[in-house]
Amino acid sequence: MVAAMNGHAQAYHALLRLCAERLRSYFRRRLIGRDADVEDLVQETLIAIHRKRATYDPSLPFTAWLHGIARYRLIDFLRRDRRTVSLAADEEFEPIDAGRVDAVLAEIDVSAMLATLTPKQAAAIRLTRIEGYSVREAATMTEQSEPAVKVNVHRGLGRLMAAIKGDE
């Protein structure tokens, strides 16, 4: 991936080929008997990798980044596809209570939205608005001043509202 990011076309083609193989295996284990959907997801994920390649941090494992993108593609697919889906149970899959599914999906959505903010804004919003800490406690936890936490919450919420309205 690092070579591909530096403009080496052959490395990029090799990367995408290897990613496609890994993604096919990943999606086949989760969508048993739905080979056409597996191929669609592989292509969607490869496109997402291409679009998001600038977000890859070379100091972190590439496969973790790849599987994160694949996981979100699978979640998006399952949301769009309202059919009953049989998922294979494997060591990475932990069944959850059916009543918690909406909460888990909402948590994923919130995390995705917070990821669009600066780390300080995301931390300030998560601590004060989601986890219920006071501004003083959040300031101590993030090593920011109290006014900085308030500003980060205000600006972060403003950016989120603009994104929701479609202004960003």
pLDDT tens-digit map of 106-136: 677 778 888 889 999 999 998 999 888 999 9
Per-residue confidence (pLDDT) for residue 29, from 0 to 100: 87
Please state the rounded mean pLDDT for residues 8-19.
Answer: 83
Please say whether the beta carbons of 125 and 156 come within 8 A: yes
Per-residue confidence (pLDDT) for residue 144, from 0 to 100: 92
Q: pLDDT exceeding 70 applies to what percent of the chain?
A: 82
Per-residue confidence (pLDDT) for residue 75, from 0 to 100: 87
Per-residue confidence (pLDDT) for residue 105, from 0 to 100: 64
Q: Is the model more confident about 98 or about 42?
A: 42
pLDDT grade for 17, boundaries at 50, 70 and 90:
confident
Per-residue confidence (pLDDT) for residue 155, from 0 to 100: 95
pTM above 0.75, yes or no: no
* Alpha-carbon distances of 165 from 159, 161, 168, rounded to whole Å: 10, 6, 8
Q: Is the model more confident about 99 or about 48?
A: 48
